Structure 1
Amino acid sequence: MQVLFRKAAYLMVGAALVLSSCSEDDDQTTTPEPQGLTATLSADARFSVLVDALERTGLDATLSGNGIFTVFAPTDAAFGQALIDLGYTDLDALEAGLGTEGLRNVLRYHVLGTIRRSSDLQTGYSSTAATNADGDPLSFYLSTGNEVRINGSAVVREANIEASNGVAHVIDAVLLPLSIYDLVRLNPQYSSLNAALMAADGDLDAVLAGSGSFTLFAPNDEAFQNVIDATPGVSNLNDLVTALGTDGLSTVLLYHVTSGIILSSDLPGLSSNTVSTLALDGNGANFTFDLDLGMNTTRIIDGSPATDPASLTEVDIVGTNGAIHGINAVLLPE
């Protein structure tokens, strides 16, 4: 009888050890090691075109390696629609049309060099891994609310796909780099500026959306409202346009634009702290404004004694054809 009890005890202990071992194995299989972003995207059938494009441009190695990244990942359906919109039949044709380097830059426009999970996404501009012709990082505009939308077109459909070197968010459209006009147009804080650009002589909206190289010092809506409040007989933007005339409005707006790209890091090196604008004074010369460079602030002093200096509110928003710096006052040439 004692022998039987001992055999039963041995069997119970053995079964417990087997169950414990199985439980440990189960725990290990439910927590696999995270993979890099390329492997994570490759494992998801929704991103076969994106992964193909990454491999063609060598970015698969980048997103597999060291570093931290956020990828806004277009689905196959998003690429299919982009090909239709751009007039290409397939990815081969897209690469041939853009060139491999052009395709690489479009893909890099979907990448941030930092980790931003959904809780970190805020309305505003972000610098991407893509660059303009001068090597400056291109910006996109992200808006939050009922949905997260990028450049007014791509919506985040799924967030926070975790990888060992970053995070991916699923988007439903391919992002394309934008001009400085389009970056202004998307931001509700610059709605008055956008309306003024469209109303002024010279098709300034088209100019700032086209080829060329510009720096725009962009007054926000509060800046325009301050001018409206300070102008007798003017109660809204339409009244201001009427008071200035579309030709006068054009001169005022061009007073906020310079030729060439001036980033915030370039401002201290400008000769005499004077900036030549695209506005003409009527005698063939260009209006200028002055910079007051302090230790921590930069102020813009225009040509009108009736206005206060403007301060920079945001800097280095880079588009395909230039840069934008936000300012808190409308500049007047005289």
Structure 2
Amino acid sequence: MMHWLKTLLTACVTAGLLAACGGGDDDPPPPPTIAALAQQQNLTALLAAANKAGLSATLANTSVSLTVFAPTNAAFNTLATQLGFADATAMVTALSPTALANILNYHVLPTRQTAAQLSTGAATRATAYTFDGSPATLAVSTTGGVRLTDAVLTQATVTTADVAASNGIVHVVNKVLVPPGVLNVVQMAQANPDFSTLVDAVVDANLATTLSGAGPFTVFAPTNQAFADIASTVAGLTPTQLSTVLTYHVLGSQVLSTQIPFGTPVATVSGQSITIQNTPLRIVDTTATPAPIAATDIRASNGVIHVISKVLIPTL
């Protein structure tokens, strides 16, 4: 009897020591770092951008615990073509390390947050990218999955959630998130498909180079629907008239929503004035129908965009 107890105790102690040392060969390996995980997931465009931006070491740092929204290669290619580059490789080559670092940091939360945790709490999350003295934020929606709204008012959907890493967690997303203050006003418009008609008109009027310059500018950006509402009118404009219409939407300085001089005529780059009213927020042009301002303060590197749902019509 004593011999049996001694044998049993020896077996238990041996099993305990094995467990304390990490177990047997059947135990799963520890999760990889975010950098290694991105390599495993074939997120090569993200890795190339991180390498040029000098962020590769951060993604491999095991002393941090981050949340990374990782765009797919297709997402990088989509943004690249929107901005006029051949592909993601060309875009990464063209953008500066600082610009890439700012874009990538906008995809990082400084703490580990699962999809379930993103579904609770505040409707916005502070990112690792600081703009204008404060962390830039992402709006989070969890209706029908996790969706993130960026600074240019476009949404990215989490396609693969909760990929565990040793230094945080990765959520794969189907779009590159566009931060405030990195791209110029033309590029910000290019990054939002709802401004494609405006972008085409700006290119046709040879204004893209000017609006990509130092500025600063304020652009009242009509949506595609706003242009569709007056399609026949726009089609009949001469190049000079089209330029007048477009510059009627531009101020030669940055005017944020908190700086709008309500009720006072404001001179546009066209040489004609508009008046901005409050409650409701709208712009009075030469027509009898004011233009509602649908969204404000889309911050670009050379100014600001305010979204309007009607094309402003100057005297032609």
Number of the residue aligned with 1:299: 282
Question: Which deviates further from its counterpart, 66-75 or 175-184?
Answer: 66-75
Q: Do the aligned residues in 2 keep the contact of 1:158 with 1:171 (CA within 8 Å)?
A: no
The answer for unaligned runs of 5 or more in structure 2 is: 78-87, 119-125, 137-149
The within-5 A match list for 1:105-184 is 105-112=99-106, 115=109, 129=129, 139=151, 160=163, 162=165, 167=170, 177-184=182-189
Q: Do the aligned residues in 1 keep the contact of 2:247 with 2:269 (CA within 8 Å)?
A: yes
Aligned match of 2:274 in 289, 299, 322?
Answer: 289
The code of the aligned residue for 2:254 comes to I
Number of the residue aligned with 1:8: 4
The code of the aligned residue for 1:111 comes to N
The code of the aligned residue for 1:311 comes to P
**What is the alpha-carbon distance in structure 1 between the residues aligned to residue 127 and residue 210 of structure 2?**
23
1:248 match: secondary structure: helix
Q: CA deviation at 1:254?
A: 1.0
1:244 match: secondary structure: coil
Aligned match of 1:197 in 190, 193, 202?
Answer: 202
Closer, same or farther: CA 64–220 of 1 in aligned 2, 3 Å: farther
**What is the alpha-carbon distance in structure 1 between the residues aligned to residue 55 and residue 175 of structure 2?**
21
**What is the alpha-carbon distance in structure 2 between the residues aligned to residue 74 and residue 301 of structure 1?**
43
2:11 match: secondary structure: helix
Q: CA deviation at 1:278?
A: 0.7
Q: Do the aligned residues in 2 keep the contact of 1:214 with 1:257 (CA within 8 Å)?
A: yes
Number of the residue aligned with 2:251: 258
Q: CA deviation at 1:178?
A: 2.8
Number of the residue aligned with 1:282: none
**TM-score, length-scaled by structure 2:** 0.61
The code of the aligned residue for 2:245 comes to V
The answer for unaligned runs of 5 or more in structure 1 is: 87-97, 121-125, 149-155, 229-236, 280-285
Closer, same or farther: CA 204–195 of 1 in aligned 2, 3 Å: same
Closer, same or farther: CA 60–224 of 1 in aligned 2, 3 Å: same
Closer, same or farther: CA 135–302 of 1 in aligned 2, 3 Å: farther
Number of the residue aligned with 1:92: none
Number of the residue aligned with 1:207: 210
**What is the alpha-carbon distance in structure 2 between the residues aligned to residue 127 and residue 23 of structure 1?**
39
Aligned match of 1:316 in 274, 290, 297?
Answer: 297
1:110 match: secondary structure: helix
Q: Do the aligned residues in 2 keep the contact of 1:299 with 1:311 (CA within 8 Å)?
A: yes
| Structure with a larger share of its residues in helix | 1
Q: CA deviation at 1:40?
A: 4.5
Matched, 1:19 2:4: no
1:303 match: secondary structure: coil
Aligned match of 2:191 in 169, 186, 207?
Answer: 186
Number of the residue aligned with 2:224: 221
Closer, same or farther: CA 74–106 of 1 in aligned 2, 3 Å: farther
Number of the residue aligned with 1:231: none
Closer, same or farther: CA 70–291 of 1 in aligned 2, 3 Å: farther
Q: CA deviation at 1:197?
A: 2.1
**What is the alpha-carbon distance in structure 2 between the residues aligned to residue 315 and residue 67 of structure 1?**
34
Cα displacement string for residues 230-289 of structure 1 (whole angstroms, at most 9, x for unaligned residues) = xxxxxxx3x43342322222211111111122222333xx3754432111xxxxxx2121
Number of the residue aligned with 2:35: 41
**TM-score, length-scaled by structure 1:** 0.58
**What is the alpha-carbon distance in structure 2 between the residues aligned to residue 83 and residue 199 of structure 1?**
23
Q: How high is the sequence identity, in percent, across the aligned residues?
A: 22
What's the RMSD between the two structures over aligned residues? Answer: 5.0
The code of the aligned residue for 1:54 comes to G
Closer, same or farther: CA 170–24 of 1 in aligned 2, 3 Å: farther
**What is the alpha-carbon distance in structure 1 between the residues aligned to residue 37 and residue 99 of structure 2?**
24
Count of residues in correspondence between the two structures: 266
**What is the alpha-carbon distance in structure 2 between the residues aligned to residue 112 and residue 84 of structure 1?**
16
Number of the residue aligned with 1:241: 234
**What is the alpha-carbon distance in structure 2 between the residues aligned to residue 55 and residue 83 of structure 1?**
17
Q: Do the aligned residues in 1 keep the contact of 2:254 with 2:303 (CA within 8 Å)?
A: yes
1:316 match: secondary structure: strand
Structure 1 or 2, whichever has the larger Rg, is 1
